[in-house]
Structures are given as C-alpha cells and as structure tokens.
Amino acid sequence: MARAAVPPSAGGTPASAPWVQALRQSAQRLLLSPWRPWLQTLLCLLPLAWLVVGVVLDTLGANPAEALIRSTGDWTLRALCLTLAVTPLRVSLGVPALARVRRLFGLAAWFYASLHLLCYAAFDMGLDLGDILRDTVKRPFILVGVTAWLLMWPLTLTSFNRAIKALGGKQWQRLHRVVYGVVLLGLLHFFWMRAGKNNFTEVAVYGLLIVALLGWRLHRAVRRG
C-alpha cells in the first residue's frame, strides 16, 4: 500500500508540524511588535552598560584601558557575526520577520567598532592625531582595523529606508556585500592582536563561525546558479 504524500507547505517543502508552525507564528508576532526595536536596542547596549558599570566600580582588572579596548573590539566582531547570521536563520527557520533585526545588529557593530577605535585613540595614543596616523601606517593590524571601520561607514549611512529607495534594491544589496570584506578584515585584525599573545582559541572559534556563515551564502549562490 502506497504511503500518503505529505502535503507541501507554501515554500514547496513538506508541511511542518503544528507546534513548529505555532512557534514560527509567535516569533513573527514578536518580531513585528512595535516594541521589538526598543528591546533590541537595549539588548545591544547591555555590553556598554556592563563596561560603564565596570569603570565606575573599578572591576575591569589591573588594566581597565586594555579591558575597554579589548571588550569593544570583541563586541564589534560578535555584532558582525550576528548580522551575518540573520539571513541563514531567517531562511532555515522560515521566519521572514527575522530580517528586521539585521539593521540594528549592523548599527551595533559600527557603534562598538567606533568605541573600539576611540578607546585605542584615547588610551593608547592620547588622542594625538599625528601619533595615531604614524601608528596606523607602522602597524599592519591597526591599518586593517581602521580600514574595516572606514568600510563600515557607507553601510551605516545607507542602512535606512530612504537610502534603499534612493539606491534601488539591487544596487543597495551590492553595496552591502561589503560587509563580507569587513568581517574578514575584522577577523584578520583580531588574529594579529591575539598572535602577539600566542592565543588563538577565540580566533579559531570566530573563524569557524565566519567561514560557516560565508560558506552558507556561497553554497546558496551556487545552487541558485
């Protein structure tokens, strides 16, 4: 006796179990809520709040300046990874509204990258522009980090609906593929920083994650032809 065919879903794949559909609908409602941007903004600012509290309570260790520089850099890379993870999760989970969280994660990456650069300029260079420029030219990992930060500016300035309409969808998408270069430069910057201390564990974790996220996109592009 032939097995009954599983009814296809709207996307052409077998229909999900009712509880999965219910979870997707709940996630859609949450992501479409007018409170979501505010909650996501608060979530993105929690690392900054933790650092401010650490400064006030003097809990950042023996070298607070280094802790601030390192932490803001770490959160930049984490925010970039979250930004890249949105599309694979959206497609894999079948929750289109997940696309709405990408913009704020991207802005958070730019924000923490700017704080990272500011902390370096203030604590390591004393805000001396001449020293900053000389150090940038002299040390490749600084140059790579500054380049990644500069490349984030056009992405940040065009992350709003007006810019999308002005550029057109396809042109906007081409421009925002620069984020792939930004995250690779960020990883290289992170690698060189950790190389000085011969500590590659975190680099390997971020590297595997970034390779997986970019590999997913490459595989999808090849399948589309």
Which of the four pLDDT bands, split at 50, 70 and 90, describes residue 31?
Answer: confident
**Token output for 18:** 């009712």
Say if CB 113 and CB 149 are below 8 A apart: yes
Q: Which of 27-31, 40-44, 137-141, 165-169 has the lowest mean pLDDT?
A: 27-31
pLDDT tops 50 at residue 11: no
The residue behind tokens 């959160």 is 75
Would you list the domain boundaries of the chain?
Answer: 35-224
Mean pLDDT of 141-162: 95
- 198 Cβ contact partners less than 8 Å away, ≥ 6 residues apart: none
Q: Model confidence over 36-64: pLDDT tens digits?
A: 999 999 999 999 999 999 999 999 989 99
Number of Cβ within 10 Å of residue 53's Cβ equals 11
CA distances from 179 to 38, 54, 86 (A): 24, 31, 13
Mean pLDDT of 18-31: 81
Q: What is the mean pLDDT of the chain?
A: 89
- Token readout for 156 is 């940040």
Q: pLDDT tens digits for 159-175?
A: 988 888 898 888 999 99
Residue 120 corresponds to which tokens in the numbers above? 């370096």
- Per-residue pLDDT at 120 exceeds 60: yes
Q: What is the CA radius of gyration of the chain?
A: 21
Are the C-beta atoms of 79 and 116 separated by less than 8 Å? Answer: no
Say if CB 213 and CB 92 are below 8 A apart. no
Q: Return d(Cα 97, Cα 24) in angstroms, integer.
A: 10
pTM: 0.89
Rounded to 5°, the CA angle 128-115-202 comes to 115
